[in-house]
Structure 1
Amino acid sequence: MFFRLFVLASSLFFNLYACKGDYVSCIAKVKDSQAIQKNFLSIPITKKRRLVYAKHLPKTKILKYDPFLSLYLVEDKQPFQYPFDINMRLQLTTAIVTDKVAKKGHFIHNEIGLNTLARYSKKLATPALVTNSCCSLEGIVTQRGVIQKEYLKHFIESKTVQYGDIGIRVRDKNGDVVVSASDPFMKENPFKKGDIIVAFDAKKIKSAAFLMRKILFCKINTKHSVKVKRGSKYITYKVSIAKRLGGGALSDTFFERKGLYFDKRLSLVKITPAFQKYGLHRGDRLIQINGVLVKNQKELREHLEKFKNYSSLLFERNGFEFFVNIK
């Protein structure tokens, strides 16, 4: 009995101390838990599991993997007494924390889907954690930006790693959420570049970050309503949630639905069997689509919508250029 009371008192003292706001205890917790390794994160979230962010396969037993955000859930063979929890309450203060220092700051903008990670006002060497003064996780800091708590929680709690897709990419513009690109290969995709997303399931949409969370976290094949403003007209569409195939650390050009995956320079890194009949090889670099030069995945996405029924692709291989026509 005395031992249990001692453990309870120690835990209570730890948590109260952690909420003082100076983040000294959070630095100590990051250090003691060995949450930051040389070039990856390994954060204890229960006494038996760790959340890992890494660009390589962890050496311990992998329970779950998210290829979009490079997240792993792994077995913890050396349990840490005080695992990190993910804070889902509103917080007034946060800091970016390593095992040596903490800097108070705030989010400049939130994470917009898988491609645009959040930005924080302070910078430290990556990887790092963003926590509140009670050392609860608000996000993890990577070279691409901050993966925020909503995505961490979704990954940890989901049985399978899947994201929803309705065939659009969006951005914030003058207070509106605007479609920046529409997937031409998604069947019966009703959306057009420039559409303003007004509501999702009758709930008003105020930011691109909020909308993308709603879409990505939907179950596959569920039905939803999306209200858009196109010019002066308002239209409500009924859509079915498809499986997201690209984004984040993966290629996201819309060609993923056809079986082609590109790197940042538009060189092919993966070709599924369905596309091998076109004679393409890994390493072939895309130069043009229908006569238009494209330099990156963003430009490719934005040009594709103009050619929904037919695309002529110019590739380069070892100095030799050749066309591939797809429908």
Structure 2
Amino acid sequence: MLAVGFKKLYWLGYGILFFSLPLIAYDFEACRQKAMLSMERVGNTYGIAIKRLGDSAQDSQNNLTPSKVALFVYSPKSTPKGYKILKHDPFIGMYLLESKTELLPISLRTINKEILEDEMASILPHDGVSGKIATRMQSPINYATLNTPTFQNSLISTVCDHIYGIGIGKNEFIEKAYLDRFILSDSVHYGDIGVRVFQNSDDRVEVNLIDPFFRANPFAYGDIIMMINGEAIPNVAHFNRVVFDLKEGEIVPVRISRKGVVMELQAYVDKRRGGMLLKEDFLGRVGIEVDSNFVITRVAPYAKNGFERLKVGDKVLRVNQQAVPQGYDAIIRLLGQYPDKMQKWLISRDDFQFFINVNQKESQKTQDSLIQGLLNESNAFSL
């Protein structure tokens, strides 16, 4: 009798244990069916209905009537074909497109700590995979991750109605706050304070590239960025988040450590002109382009302060008596030793070498004409 009772209790306990285990297999079918109501095929990927267009835009996002919508598409390697582009972020590769069909916009939710341990799925109309959140999104280019691969342009959700982001491939996804930053803003903007940084061997954020002609650039190579605009900067992701959100034209306080001495600087904020998916364009602000050999490849009509004296094909041989290195980054590093200061360039053109001063501001003495420079024996050399 005792043995029979024990056996019953054993199987009862086993059953309770079994049925109390978390559900491992995620049932995607209902979510896939629902995803089809909010997704449209765009080439080899999908566009996700993110907001209503036209008169229907005034309706509540909870309206269950399909309508023309703006489609969100993450496409960093190619431009979607055959669609009207409503907005494009060229730095990251995000698009808003006008839909061709009528769809139901999704409703995005903010991730909170209560759902961090929940099963999270990456859903497409005909596929799905589940996992859990591994890391949160820290900046517009430091994405959130799952502990499993995500599909590009997929819905990241716990259950079908609870969508917390959009998958972008690998194991990454974009959270609501950063999607809203793109979708709801009037224009695409990323702040810039004139430097690029890296996480050094001491796990600190160090300046390793300086925009040479950035307005009033106060930084030097090796500066450790400690705080920007009152926010501590423990890593590059925090640097990106804080700097990208700064507004053009602001002047913000920056605390640095330079050769062991803590200093307070004032940094001007400009808009980002290159980097991320785009080629860095440090020289575009002064109206020139160069190749990796420091040969001038373009002089824009707005070039001034000595840069307008350059011609396509000119080769820069020396900067402030320093020989020019090979490679674009190395050239920028050299120019960055003299941030926002006048520089003396030795130019080779048509079998002559001559000096010109560039980045010479209006407050400085006006430079002699190029012809005078060519005729000056101290400046001209025959090759």
Superposition TM-score, scaled by structure 2 size: 0.60
Gaps of 5+ in 1: 1-19, 316-321
- Secondary structure at 1:85 match in 2: coil
Alignment of 1:50-199 (within 5 A): 50-54=71-75, 55-56=78-79, 59-85=82-108, 87-90=110-113, 91-92=115-116, 94-99=120-125, 100-104=127-131, 106=133, 122-123=148-149, 127-129=152-154, 131-134=156-159, 136-141=163-168, 149-173=176-200, 174-199=202-227
Distance 1:45 1:120, change over 3 A: same
- Secondary structure at 1:306 match in 2: coil
Alignment of 1:1-327 (within 5 A): 22=26, 24=28, 25-34=30-39, 37-47=42-52, 48-54=69-75, 55-56=78-79, 59-85=82-108, 87-90=110-113, 91-92=115-116, 94-99=120-125, 100-104=127-131, 106=133, 122-123=148-149, 127-129=152-154, 131-134=156-159, 136-141=163-168, 149-173=176-200, 174-260=202-288, 272-274=300-302, 278-280=310-312, 290-294=323-327, 301-306=332-337, 308=339, 309-310=342-343
CA contact (8 A) 2:212 2:332 kept: no
Cα deviation, 1:184-214, whole Å, max 9, x if unaligned, reads 1102101122211111222222222122122
Moved more, 171-180 or 90-99: 90-99
Q: Tell me the amino acid that sits aligned with residue 312 of structure 2.
A: L
- Residue 314 of structure 1: how far off its partner (Å): 10
Moved more, 209-218 or 83-92: 83-92
Distance 1:141 1:306, change over 3 A: same
Q: Which has the larger radius of gyration?
A: 2
Return the alpha-carbon distance in structure 1 between the equivalents of residues 36 and 83 of structure 2: 20
Equivalent in the alignment of 1:14? none
Return the alpha-carbon distance in structure 2 between the equivalents of residues 255 and 83 of structure 1: 42
Select the structure with the greater relative contact order (CA < 8 A; seq sep ≥ 6). 1
Return the alpha-carbon distance in structure 2 between the equivalents of residues 39 and 268 of structure 1: 40
Q: Tell me the amino acid that sits aligned with residue 305 of structure 1.
A: G
Identity %: 24
- Secondary structure at 1:219 match in 2: coil
Distance 1:103 1:310, change over 3 A: farther
- Residue 230 of structure 1: how far off its partner (Å): 1.4
Q: Cα RMSD over matched residues?
A: 4.5
Distance 1:169 1:50, change over 3 A: same
Distance 1:105 1:130, change over 3 A: farther
Q: How many residues align?
A: 296
Moved more, 69-78 or 176-185: 69-78
CA contact (8 A) 1:39 1:127 kept: no
Return the alpha-carbon distance in structure 2 between the equivalents of residues 268 and 39 of structure 1: 40
Gaps of 5+ in 2: 1-23, 53-68, 360-383
Cα deviation, 1:13-51, whole Å, max 9, x if unaligned, reads xxxxxxx99372554444443356334441111233222
